[in-house]
Structures are given as C-alpha cells and as structure tokens.
Amino acid sequence: MFATRIQRFLYRRIAKPVFFSRDPEEVHDAMTALGTALGSSRGVRSILRSLFSYASPSLRQTILGIEFPNPVGLSAGFDKDALLMDVLPSVGFGFEEIGSVTGERCAGNPKPRLWRLPNSKGLVVWYGLKNDGSETVSARLRGRTFEIPIGTSVARTNDATTVETEAGIRDYEKAFRAFADIGDYATVNISCPNTCGGEPFATPERLDALLSRLDAIATRKPTFLKLPADISTDELDALVAVCDRHRVHGLILSNLTKRRDRATIDPTEIAVTDKGGVSGKPVFGPSNELISHLWKTTGRRYVIVGTGGIFSAEDAYEKIVRGASLVQLITGMIFEGPQLIGEINRGIVRLLVRDGFATVAEAVGTKNSRKDPAAG
Ligand SMILES: Cc1cc2nc3c(=O)[nH]c(=O)nc-3n(C[C@H](O)[C@H](O)[C@H](O)COP(=O)(O)O)c2cc1C
C-alpha cells in the first residue's frame, strides 16, 4: 500500500533518527504520554484508524471465548501502567497485554536501564518491573470496557522482601487477585530476568507451589504463563508437566534472552552494559524453537502466544505456522514504526492466500507436521 510506504519512509527518515538520538527511556515515556493524549480524542482515534489499521475476516479468531480482531498484540512491558488501551486499537493492534504489574508499586532498577542495539536489532532491558502497583493499576481499569482483548500480566515485586518463596507467592496472589475480574486473560510472568532474586518460579517445584495458590483465586479469565527464552526443550517439558496439573490455558514464548553469546548479538554493542536481558531479533530464533517444540508435544492443548523478534509479516507468520495462534511484539514497532502493525496484518493475509488458507486458525502449526490430536 502506497500510504503505508510513505508512513514507513517518514518513520525511518524523520522520526526514528530523532528518537534514536535521545535516551530510550525518555522516548518511551514521551510516546506513552503522546499515546495517552491521542487516545483520549475520538476524532484523533478515527484519523489514526484510517491511517494505520487493517482489518480482514481471515484475521479474526475466537480463542478461549475471547474475540481477537487480529492476531498481533502489544507485548507486556510497553504499557506498564495501563495508559494506552484507547489508542492501541486505532494503531491496529488486535490485543494488548498490560504490565507486568506487581503486588506492590515498584520504582524499578536505577537508571540507565534501557539501551538500543541497532546492529543487533534489539534492546537491552533492565527496567526491573517499574510499575504503579496492582492496587493503582487495577483501580485505573476497573469498570471500563475495552475495544480489544486485554491481558493483565502480573509479576513479583522487585525487592528483597519478596525473594523468599512464600513472600513471593503472596505478592503474586495480591496482583492476580486485583485483576481477577478485569480484562480478558491473565498472564503470570515468571520470566523477568531483571529482578532481585532472579526467576525463582521458573523451576518446576516452585512453579507448582505458585500455581496451586493462584488456582484457588476465583476468576472467569483464562490464565497464560510467560516463559523464559533461555530454557532447553527438556526444561520446557518439565514446566509444561506442571501446567498440566493447574489452571493454565496458554503459554507465551518468550521473554527476553539473558544469553549474550547469541549469534545475532553484535558483541561490541552489547558491551554497553553487563546488565539486563535482550529483546528483538536475538529472541526470534530461541522463541521459535520453543514454539515448535511445544506445538509438536502438546498440539492445541495450550494456546501458544509467540513473542520475540517480530519485525515483519514473515516473522509473525513463521511463529503462526510453527504453532502460535497469537503473536506479540514491542521491539519491531520501535525499530520500524507504528505502521508495522497494519503492515504485518496485511502481510499475514497475503501469506495465508499464498498458502491456500482461509483463516489464521487454519495456518496455525502447519509447518510442524505433527497430526493434531484434537482433530482425531
Ligand atoms: C522495554 C521492554 C520492557 C519489557 N517489560 C516486560 C514486562 O514487564 N513483562 C514481560 O512479561 N515482558 C516484558 N518485556 C519482554 C517483552 O514482552 C517481549 O517478551 C520481548 O521483548 C520479546 O519481544 P520483542 O522482541 O517483540 O520485543 C519487555 C520488553 C521490552 C522491550
């Protein structure tokens, strides 16, 4: 589309050089403020919609009773405090995941805590779960209706008081309970690489303890679990075996990578800091491998959400044909511009037609030849 090409050109030549010359967190905060302001005007929203959004019946899916207008969502970590729900549908997103929100308000790690890796097409993220806390964010959302499905991602407050297992579980419980009747699905993020005490709930025993307690909290929402990028397929199998015993409906693959030796990471760039986890292209391969393995071993038993390194329709489609019903992104939008969401959706439709599929749902998992047990 001509209009999209112009938007891409303007972003690459004008907006991106300005953004990339400034501190990344400052730009993130400015974009959040701008998005909040733009979203508050009905007129602006409809202009944005006509510029950016792309709709097609072949992109629609009903998953766990939730209607997704398209499979492309905003991943957790961009809209930490739930301020962008109004503007995101106009930009073309099919859903968003707010948070991660923690039991208590959290200032996050000391600045600087976000760096760009232009050659590696990634970001180093060391925010440390900065957010307004479960009471404030849930109060902001309570009683509201949303145009697109909303996922509420919860995590453990990043401080020394939640490192011990029981205290950590209580913190998750507080956040999970605060959002039990808000939004469309709940995500339990056990894979933030940037917190005090690491990722204790990414081990089967502690995950079992955590999920047992969350199972006891009444909610109509399905629960998704967000997993780390740097796990082996055996470790994934072990975590899935735990999920099988609990109220888990979907798995999000994956969070940031902590491995700095990934082939796609330029070693000179990453030397900027020894902290944090990396987003973007360096996560693409590892998350795809995990998606394929999960699909081959569980088929449609879990809804798979593919996240990591999506910069194009081809990238999103790769995750879909490997087994993801939904995809999410952040870094691709920062590098390519807001028109990317519509471009991806339009491109997915083109790829579906090329491969003879009528809908996204038909394409899910088709690259991995495993016969779907649900199909008999
Ligand atoms: C700035 C930033 C903040 C993030 N914060 C969170 C977070 O709070 N919770 C979470 O589950 N994932 C968080 N992530 C990870 C993303 O949700 C996503 O899994 C990862 O970045 C891979 O997707 P991408 O390559 O499209 O960015 C964050 C990522 C970025 C770039």
- For atom 29 of ligand 1, which residue has the closest CA? 77
Distance 328 CA to ligand 1 centre (A): 9
Residue 153 Cβ inside 6 Å of ligand 1? The answer reads yes
Tens digit of pLDDT for each residue in 12-23?
A: 999 999 999 999
| Cβ(302)–Cβ(323) below 8 Å | no
- For atom 15 of ligand 1, which residue has the closest CA? 255
- Ligand 1 atom closest to Cα of 309? 25
pLDDT band at 374; cut points 50, 70, 90: low
Tens digit of pLDDT for each residue in 274-294?
A: 999 999 999 999 999 999 999
Residue 276 Cβ inside 6 Å of ligand 1? The answer reads no
Average pLDDT over residues 241-269: 97
Look up the pTM and report it.
0.96
- What are the chain's domains? 2-369 (3.20.20.70)
375 pLDDT higher than 60: no
Distance 265 CA to ligand 1 centre (A): 17
Residue 137 Cβ inside 6 Å of ligand 1? The answer reads no
372 pLDDT higher than 60: no
Residue 189 Cβ inside 6 Å of ligand 1? The answer reads yes
